[in-house]
């Protein structure tokens, strides 16, 4: 059974067709990159897969369940593109703590197990020194790492990340890529929107390229960690649908 | 001694509950940038008071029902995202205010009776009111703290909250319904025209002083309690409506918090280690094996790299730099 299954989905935003008959399937334990120029529809696809945008055609299944019936949200962790936290004085720990809510019932307290997961996630992204600082006092890259920690805190089986490395220093990118490689070895499934493969090259199984809201044919099977052949990077010429 | 006066005891209890409860809900109202919604709901509750005065019912319960009803309608309008929602809300707010005054006036309960609900009053808190205020206040505190994490998640990042499986619409509705209940808790002491201030201003002051959301809520509750009690006691001696004094005190707290917060921030900053600035990338001219000028269709793959375009040559990235190519 595929972890993510999008069957011929269309998404229309503001009256414009943004995604056009996109079909995508991610198998358990796979690490898949989503590539494409700015405005090619990567974020839209990610959000459609999560039910944040309505589909005008087609169907999405997560863990084998059709999206409108899907309830096991604790099995996935999402890192949105760009920091979107609206409480500037909230601390890193407060933000990361929300990541465990998918497995808590209303009125249930954060227990020992969740506390350990929250601390572990903060440590894994290297923010333990900043844990009690308001998120607004962090640099863009550090805020991004806090959002990655938030997704990790729930110990999800599937990580869906939208340009998680934007604004993050190169050496930190390398250590985050190492972390994601470790998670993949543990059997987690990864779907990651990337601007360039960079440090993730060795972690990925394959890449899916979007252009103008469609999946580029043939690219789907490209093995991202191929030794000699350069990986499919988005071709900036002839790109459609600029932002 | 004023504390032995029975009406003052009742006023102080009512004010203490209002002072503690208002900022807890207010913290989420401020986060959601709905500061003026509380004010609008106060106006709607005036219609409830007018209706109660006109029909001889108890004002507090009627005000609760009307305010909750108004809150639900307003939230549905707001979340519909329609452009007309803003106008519709204004109509509801002023409609509430006008209806309340009209109804009270019609039965001869002119400005006098109504004004005790608009600006708060020390004399008018009845024993029955205390019970209702206490029960409502307790319910609000239990809901806010029992669902604190969920309310925080929804207020800080709605889309992410959705991917946690939280019912975002329910929690959004809950916040405004809690605001409606808070308004009726505060109306006897602060008055319906200024209830929103006790929800919003202590939170704003506390945000200047504290780091972290939960801590900010706790400090705001303390400031709210202090302002409400000080306002009630002060208004006894000044013979003024307590609401105005309570609000003035919260605003004084806010004004003091501005320079105080800056000073606290400077002290904390001073203790922090300044992080080293990353040096610019080294300037490495590319090998001369690249004789031609890169451009569209030159045979080398183009890669967007930040603000410019690199061209892939044998796994190296060449970037144009003053007439030659650098390694990137
Ligand atoms: N809410 C929206 N309403 C209308 N158009 C949108 C909206 N969001 C994105 N778009 C358009 O959809 C296209 C794809 O956007 P996006 O998915 O963000 O691209 P990417 O993440 O690949 O850069 C762009 O042309 C963008 O302008
Ligand atoms: Mg994007």
- Residues B79 and B169 sit within 8 Å (Cβ to Cβ): yes
Q: How close does chain A come to B296, measured CA to CA in Å?
A: 7
CA proximity to B167, closest of B153, B180, B181: B153
Q: Residue B77: pLDDT band by 50, 70, 90 thresholds?
A: confident
Residue A179 has pLDDT above 60, yes or no: yes
Residue A234 has pLDDT above 50, yes or no: no
B157 and B29 share a domain? Answer: yes
Q: What is the pLDDT of residue B33?
A: 82
For residue range A52-96, list pLDDT tens digits in order.
999 999 999 999 999 999 999 999 999 999 767 788 889 999 999
Q: Which of B147, B172, B194 is the last residue of a domain?
A: B194
Query: What mean pLDDT value characterizes chain A?
Result: 89
CA proximity to A27, closest of A188, A192, A186, A237: A188
B307 and B180 share a domain? Answer: no
Atom of ligand 1 nearest to the CA of A81: 21
- Residues B201 and B253 sit within 8 Å (Cβ to Cβ): yes
Q: How close does chain B come to A20, measured CA to CA in Å?
A: 23
Q: Which of B149, B166, B194 is the last residue of a domain?
A: B194
- Residues B47 and B100 sit within 8 Å (Cβ to Cβ): yes
For residue range A90-124, list pLDDT tens digits in order.
999 999 999 999 999 999 999 999 999 999 999 99
B46 and B144 share a domain? Answer: yes
- 3-state SS, A200-223, equals HHHCCCEEEEEECCEECCCHHHCE
Q: Is the dihedral of CA B228, B230, B236, B242 positive or negative?
A: negative
Residue B194 has pLDDT above 60, yes or no: yes
Give the least confident one: A24-33, A38-47, A227-236.
A227-236
- Residues B97 and B192 sit within 8 Å (Cβ to Cβ): no
Q: Which of B146, B156, B216 sits opposite A86 (nearest CB)?
A: B156
Q: Classify each residue of B258-296 as buried b or exposed e, where b means 16 or more C-beta atoms within 10 Å of its C-beta.
A: eeebeeeeeeeeeeeeeeeeeeeeeeeebeeebeeebee
User: Has residue B104 been placed in a domain?
Assistant: yes
Using the Cβ of B159 and the Cβ atoms of chain A, whether some distance falls under 8 Å is answered with yes
Provide CB contacts within 8 A for B278, sequence distance 6+.
Answer: A169
For residue range B30-67, list pLDDT tens digits in order.
988 888 888 899 999 999 999 999 998 999 999 999 99
B170 and B61 share a domain? Answer: yes
Determine the Cα–Cα distance for residues B74 and A125; give it in Å rounded to an integer: 41
B165 and B68 share a domain? Answer: yes
- Residues A196 and A160 sit within 8 Å (Cβ to Cβ): no
Query: What mean pLDDT value characterizes chain B?
Result: 85
Determine the Cα–Cα distance for residues B55 and B78; give it in Å rounded to an integer: 32
Residue in this structure with the two tokens 């490395």, named with its chain if needed: A165
B169 and B293 share a domain? Answer: no
B173 and B35 share a domain? Answer: yes
User: Has residue B64 been placed in a domain?
Assistant: yes
Pocket test for ligand 1, best of A12, A18, A38 (most atoms within 8 A of CB): A18
CA proximity to B326, closest of B292, B291, B295, B285: B285
Is B296's CB within 8 Å of A237's CB? yes
Using the Cβ of B163 and the Cβ atoms of chain A, whether some distance falls under 8 Å is answered with yes
Please give the tally of structural domains in chain B. Answer: 2
B188 and B303 share a domain? Answer: no
What ranges in chain B are assigned the alpha helix state H? 6-31, 35-55, 59-80, 85-106, 111-119, 127-146, 148-156, 158-163, 168-186, 195-209, 213-238, 242-271
Residue in this structure with the two tokens 């019609």, named with its chain if needed: B106
What is the residue with the minimal CA distance to atom 16 of ligand 1?
A41
**Which two tokens mark B206?**
């506390």
Q: What is the pLDDT of residue B307?
A: 47
Pocket test for ligand 1, best of A41, A192, A240 (most atoms within 8 A of CB): A41
ipTM of the complex: 0.90
Q: Is the CB of A243 under 6 A from ligand 1?
A: yes
B167 and B295 share a domain? Answer: no
User: DSSP characters for A1-61?
Assistant: --SEEEEEEEEEETTEEEEEEEEEEE-TT-EEEEE--TTSSHHHHHHHHTTSS--SEEEEE
Using the Cβ of B153 and the Cβ atoms of chain A, whether some distance falls under 8 Å is answered with yes
Tell me the CA distances in angstroms from B46 to B59, B102, B264, one per residue in order: 9, 10, 41
Q: Is the CB of A13 under 6 A from ligand 1?
A: yes
User: Has residue B256 been placed in a domain?
Assistant: no
User: Has residue B107 been placed in a domain?
Assistant: yes
Residue B151 has pLDDT above 50, yes or no: yes
Determine the Cα–Cα distance for residues A236 and A211; give it in Å rounded to an integer: 10
Looking up residue B177, the CATH number of its domain turns out to be 1.10.3470.10
Q: How close does chain A come to B95, measured CA to CA in Å?
A: 32
Provide CB contacts within 8 A for B276, sequence distance 6+.
Answer: none
CA proximity to B76, closest of B145, B5, B176: B176
B60 and B159 share a domain? Answer: yes
User: In angstroms, what is the span from residue A163 Cα to ligand 2's centroid?
Assistant: 7
Rg (CA), chain A: 18
B179 and B290 share a domain? Answer: no
Instruction: For residue A243, count other CB atoms closer than 10 A to its CB.
Output: 6
Tell me the CA distances in angstroms from B122 to A180, B189, B190, B229, one per residue in order: 63, 7, 10, 12
Residues of A with Cβ-Cβ distance to B166 under 8 angstroms: 101
Give the least confident one: A156-160, B105-109, B247-251.
B105-109
Determine the Cα–Cα distance for residues B238 and B155; give it in Å rounded to an integer: 40
Minimum CA–CA partner of A150 in chain B = B160
User: Has residue B259 been placed in a domain?
Assistant: no
Which of A43, A52, A90 to substitute to test the interface with B, most B CBs within 10 Å?
A90
CA proximity to A121, closest of A162, A159, A167: A159
Q: What is the pLDDT of residue B303?
A: 53
B187 and B287 share a domain? Answer: no
Determine the Cα–Cα distance for residues A173 and A159; give it in Å rounded to an integer: 16
User: Has residue B200 been placed in a domain?
Assistant: no
Determine the average pLDDT of the residues in B3-19: 94
Ligand nearest to the CA of A52: 1
What is the residue with the minimal CA distance to atom 17 of ligand 1?
A41
Residues of A with Cβ-Cβ distance to B310 under 8 angstroms: none
CA proximity to A46, closest of B165, B306, B159: B159
User: Has residue B152 been placed in a domain?
Assistant: yes
User: Has residue B322 been placed in a domain?
Assistant: yes
The domain in which residue B299 lies consists of 283-328
Determine the Cα–Cα distance for residues A146 and A83; give it in Å rounded to an integer: 9
User: How many CA atoms within 13 Å lie on the side-chain side of B1?
Assistant: 3
Q: How close does chain B come to A49, measured CA to CA in Å?
A: 11
The H or E element containing residue A173 is helix A170-185
Q: Which of B213, B303, B309 sits opposite A94 (nearest CB)?
A: B213
Tell me the CA distances in angstroms from B78 to B85, B158, B159, B241, one per residue in order: 6, 15, 17, 34
């Amino acid at each position: 059974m595929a972890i993510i299954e999008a069957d011929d989905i269309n998404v229309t935003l503001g009256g414009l067709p943004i995604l056009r008959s996109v079909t995508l399937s991610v198998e358990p334990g796979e690490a898949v990159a989503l590539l494409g120029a700015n405005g090619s529809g990567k974020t839209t696809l990610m959000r459609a897969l999560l039910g944040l945008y309505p589909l005008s055609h087609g169907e999405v299944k997560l863990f084998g369940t059709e999206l409108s019936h899907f309830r096991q949200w604790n099995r996935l962790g999402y890192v949105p593109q760009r920091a979107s936290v609206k409480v500037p004085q909230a601390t890193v720990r407060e933000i990361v703590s929300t990541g465990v809510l998918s497995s808590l019932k209303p009125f249930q307290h954060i227990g020992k197990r969740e506390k350990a997961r929250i601390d572990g996630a903060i440590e894994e992204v290297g923010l333990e020194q900043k844990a009690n600082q308001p998120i607004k006092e962090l640099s863009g890259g550090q805020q991004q790492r806090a959002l990655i920690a938030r997704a990790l805190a729930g110990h999800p089986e599937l990580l869906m990340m939208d340009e998680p490395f934007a604004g993050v220093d190169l050496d930190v990118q390398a250590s985050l890529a190492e972390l994601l490689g470790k998670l993949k070895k543990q059997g987690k499934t990864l779907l990651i929107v990337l601007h360039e493969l960079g440090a993730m090259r060795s972690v990925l199984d394959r890449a899916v390229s979007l252009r103008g809201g469609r999946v580029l044919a043939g690219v789907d099977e490209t093995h991202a960690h191929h030794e000699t052949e350069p990986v499919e990077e988005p071709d900036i010429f002839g790109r459609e649908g600029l932002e | 001694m004023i504390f032995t006066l029975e009406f003052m005891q009742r006023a102080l209890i009512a004010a203490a509950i209002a002072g503690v409860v208002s900022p807890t809900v207010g913290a989420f109202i401020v986060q959601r940038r709905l500061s003026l919604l509380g004010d609008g709901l106060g106006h709607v509750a005036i219609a409830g008071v007018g209706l109660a005065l006109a029909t001889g019912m108890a004002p507090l319960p009627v005000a609760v029902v009307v305010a909750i009803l108004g809150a639900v309608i307003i939230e549905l309008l707001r979340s519909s995202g329609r452009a007309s929602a803003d106008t519709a809300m204004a109509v509801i707010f002023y409609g509430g205010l006008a209806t309340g005054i009209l109804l009270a006036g019609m039965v001869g309960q002119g400005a006098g009776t109504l004004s005790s609900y608009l600006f708060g009053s020390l004399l008018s808190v009845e024993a029955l009111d205390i019970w209702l205020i206490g029960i409502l206040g307790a319910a609000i505190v239990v809901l806010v703290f029992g669902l604190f994490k969920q309310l925080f998640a929804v207020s800080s990042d709605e889309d992410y909250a959705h991917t946690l499986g939280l019912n975002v619409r329910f929690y959004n509705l809950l916040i405004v319904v809690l605001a409606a209940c808070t308004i009726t808790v505060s109306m006897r002491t602060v008055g319906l025209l200024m209830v929103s201030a006790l929800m919003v201003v202590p939170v704003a002051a506390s945000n200047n002083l504290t780091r972290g959301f939960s801590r900010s809520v706790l400090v705001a509750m303390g400031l709210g309690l202090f302002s409400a009690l000080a306002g009630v006691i002060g208004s006894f001696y000044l013979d003024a409506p307590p609401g105005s004094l309570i609000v003035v005190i919260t605003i004084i707290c806010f004004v003091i918090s501005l320079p105080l917060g800056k000073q606290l921030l400077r002290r904390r900053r001073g203790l922090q280690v300044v992080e080293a600035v990353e040096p610019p990338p080294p300037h490495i001219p590319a090998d001369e094996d690249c004789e031609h000028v890169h451009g569209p269709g030159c045979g080398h793959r183009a890669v967007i790299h930040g603000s410019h375009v690199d061209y892939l040559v044998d796994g190296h990235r060449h970037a144009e730099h003053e007439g030659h190519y650098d390694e990137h």
